[in-house]
């Protein structure tokens, strides 16, 4: 009806605006990256890249993906779900998120699949997904802080550092506001789902061993991603440390998540990496 069309207009306008801004920003970044590029040199570099290093980097990358799924798996305390099923559910959500110009579909899809196909309660699924994000924030802050302390030259990576720091601070602020104010919001105690989600989060808080293992798995995930990128850089002849690539990848991924871009962060991610290198 006409009333429904009017009610849906702001949402459609927001999506259209975000996609349009993403296209414009991607086009601008793409022009900056490709401007003055020596295509002959690029073809030569690609042709002489060792195939063995490609498969080695791919293997390390896949281990990092498995480790990311394992850190979610060990957060599930009292309910059972197979690791392979959880691995497929997680990557299905991430894969669809990469294809969508509006990158907010990963967690809702994962939550829907893990409850309908995996047999978990919605409260447990929501609590563990939220805890995953918190662990990512803490791991990112820890790695960035340690890297800057040990390697002050990393401070020059402005785009990556700024993007990761802003993301971490904003996420922590939202988390503490929700955690401290949940019980004070009128009516929240009457909502069974919220009560169950808070209860599931408290159960995780009472399992410090699982939280520690999941945190270590998160650190391992990011370090392996950096190692995979370092192998690629080494094969091309770029002389950078593994720590630099880890910071570069973390910040570039957060940069892609923070600004509108094409599906999969195409060109936007490459622009951040190329600019830094």
What contacts 219, CB < 8 A, 6 or more positions away?
139, 142, 143
Angle 133-137-143 (CA atoms, 0-180°, nearest 5)? Answer: 140
Q: What is the pLDDT along the chain (277 residues), one digit of tens a residue?
A: 444 444 445 666 666 776 677 677 777 777 777 777 788 888 888 888 899 999 999 999 999 999 999 999 988 877 888 899 999 999 998 888 777 766 667 888 888 888 887 788 887 887 788 788 777 777 777 777 666 666 666 666 555 566 656 666 665 665 555 555 555 555 555 555 455 555 556 666 667 788 888 889 988 998 898 899 899 988 888 888 887 788 777 777 777 766 767 776 777 888 877 877 7
**Is the CB of residue 134 less than 8 Å from the CB of residue 175?**
yes
Rounded to 5°, the CA angle 244-72-123 comes to 135
Q: Look at phi and psi of residue 265 and say left if phi exceeds 0, alpha if psi is from -120 to 50, else beta.
A: left
What's the pLDDT score for residue 112? 87
pLDDT computed for residue 179 by the predictor: 52
Q: How many helices (H) and strands (E) does the chain have?
A: 11, 0
pLDDT at residue 3, rounded to an integer: 41
Q: What is the pLDDT of residue 84?
A: 93
Give the per-residue pLDDT at 37.
77
Contacts of residue 125, Cβ cutoff 8 Å, sequence gap at least 6 = 110, 111, 114, 115, 118
> Under 8 Å CB-to-CB from 59, ≥6 apart: which residues?
none
Among 225, 226, 224, 218, which Cα is nearest to 72's?
218
pLDDT confidence of residue 52: 93
- pTM for the predicted model, two decimal places: 0.72
Judge whether 85 and 53 are in contact, CB under 8 Å.
Answer: no
Question: Other C-beta atoms within 10 Å of 117: how many?
Answer: 13
Torsion of CA 73, 76, 135, 85, to 10 degrees: 30
Do the beta carbons of residue 110 and residue 129 sit within 8 Å?
Answer: yes
The whole-angstrom separation of Cα 54 and Cα 45 is 13
- Three-state secondary structure along 134-152? HHHHHHHHHHHHHHHHHCH
- In eight-state DSSP terms, residue 183 is G
CA distance 221 to 68: 6
Q: Whole-angstrom Cα distance, residue 183 to residue 9?
A: 34
State the Cα–Cα distance between residues 14 and 25, nearest whole angstrom.
16
Give Cβ neighbours of residue 206 (< 8 Å, ≥ 6 apart): none
Length of the chain: 277
pLDDT at 7: 44
Write down the pLDDT at residue 169: 65
């Amino acid at each position: 009806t006409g009333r429904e069309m009017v009610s849906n207009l702001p949402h459609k306008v927001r999506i259209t605006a975000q996609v349009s801004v993403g296209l414009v920003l991607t086009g601008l970044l793409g022009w900056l990256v490709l401007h003055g590029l020596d295509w002959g040199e690029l073809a030569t570099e690609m042709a002489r890249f060792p195939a063995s290093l490609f498969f080695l980097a791919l293997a390390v990358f896949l281990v990092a993906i498995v480790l990311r799924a394992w850190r979610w798996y060990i957060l599930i305390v009292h309910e059972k779900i197979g690791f392979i099923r959880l691995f497929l559910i997680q990557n299905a959500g991430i894969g669809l998120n990469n294809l969508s110009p509006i990158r907010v579909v990963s967690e809702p899809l994962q939550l829907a699949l893990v409850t309908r196909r995996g047999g978990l309660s919605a409260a447990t699924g929501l609590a563990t997904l939220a805890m995953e994000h918190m662990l990512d924030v803490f791991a990112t802050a820890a790695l960035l802080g340690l890297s800057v302390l040990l390697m002050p030259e990393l401070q020059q990576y402005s785009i990556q550092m700024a993007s990761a720091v802003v993301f971490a601070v904003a996420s922590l602020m939202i988390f503490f506001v929700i955690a401290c104010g949940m019980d004070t919001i009128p009516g929240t105690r009457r909502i069974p789902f919220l009560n169950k989600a808070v209860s599931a989060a408290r159960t995780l808080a009472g399992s410090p061993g699982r939280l520690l293992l999941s945190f270590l798995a998160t650190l391992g995930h990011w370090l392996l991603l950096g190692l995979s990128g370092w192998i690629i850089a080494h094969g091309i002849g770029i002389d950078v440390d593994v720590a630099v690539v880890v910071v570069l990848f973390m910040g570039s991924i957060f940069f892609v998540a923070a600004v509108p871009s094409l599906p999969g962060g195409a060109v936007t991610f490459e622009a951040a990496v190329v600019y830094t290198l």
